[in-house]
Structures are given as C-alpha cells and as structure tokens.
Amino acid sequence: MSKRVVIINDKMQRGYRYVCTAPVGRNFDPEFQPHLTPPQMLKLGVFGGKYMTDCRKEFPASWFKGAKLAPRGRDSSLNYFGVEASQPLSVWREKGWIHPDDPRGWFQWYCRYYMGRRMPEEDRRQIKRWKAIRRHVRQVERNCDYGDFTCRRRQRQALLHWAYDSRKI
C-alpha cells in the first residue's frame, strides 16, 4: 500500500498533517475489535450529531450519507437512544484524555485509525481506553433484559460512542 498524506484545515486544526500507512478499515491491532465502523456510528446517531460537522472534507463523503448531524448545537434527540451521553470537551481535556493530534478526542482518533493512520504509542493508549469501556457492556448485560432498550439508555448510548453495538445486548 502506498502512503497517503492528509492535510487538515478545520476549526480545531490548521495545517496538521498525518500519514495513512494501513489500508482503510483493515490491519487493526488484534486487541481492537470495534463492533461499529465510524460511518455506521454516524448513521446510528452519536455525540448529539455535532461531532463531525466541520471536518467532513477529511473523510469519505459516503460516511455522511444518512448520518445524523446537527446543523447547529448538539441535539441529543439525534442520538440513537435519544439521550445525552457525552461529557463536554473541557472535561476530556481536564482528565488528560485528549492527545494534541486528535483535539476532538477518541472518536477522531478512531476515524483516523480506521482511515489508516498509525501512531503506536497513542494507538495503545486509545485501545486500552476502548477496552476499559467494556465494563459498561457487563453492567448492561447484568441489569437489563436482552433487547430492552429502555434499560440504561444513557449507558447504551455511551457504548455506541465507543463503537460497541449496544443494540445487541
């Protein structure tokens, strides 16, 4: 595969460059087995529809066909489970969850990883965070009947934000 350079100029990054060295959607770390692709997540409804509105040029147009995006501010009714399940970016920054290369957080990292960018140290850190979210899968399994989407809706929505398909719990 030939390397592809991506140059970013959006509201949060100007002149940022990254190189894609892996094929799109393939060659993932064996410990990282997300249930959902970024375009699937956008179509289901995540992050109140606000996450990707100013950086569409970076990703394939097909990702945005049928995506639930908010034209203005976040709108939790666009989320699959219709509830708010995100913390503000300021909290993510305070907790040290934001890497300078991905100022929007985990989902931005995942989108770029999916596209083929590899940053070994950051990839390990984000995959470790992704794996830690699995505890919420266990909580839904222990406390909800299978397919009862009224049970733990906020937790189920948060799982969707992390590419776990909580519709199948």
The pLDDT profile of the chain, 169 residues, written as one tens digit per residue, is: 679 999 999 999 999 999 999 999 999 999 999 999 999 999 999 999 988 788 889 999 999 999 999 988 889 999 999 999 988 888 989 998 899 999 999 999 999 999 999 999 999 999 999 999 999 999 999 999 999 999 999 999 999 999 999 999 9
Instruction: Give the model's pLDDT for residue 1.
Output: 65
User: Which residues of the chain form beta strands (DSSP E)?
Assistant: 4-9, 14-20
What pLDDT does residue 59 have?
A: 96
What interhelical angle do 106-115 and 120-132 show, nearest 10? 120
SS3 label, residue 53? coil
Structure tokens belonging to residue 132: 């830690």
pTM, rounded to two decimals = 0.95
Cα radius of gyration rounded to whole Å, the chain: 16
The burial of 138, by beta-carbon neighbours within 10 Å (0-12 exposed, 13-18 middle, 19 or more buried), is given as exposed
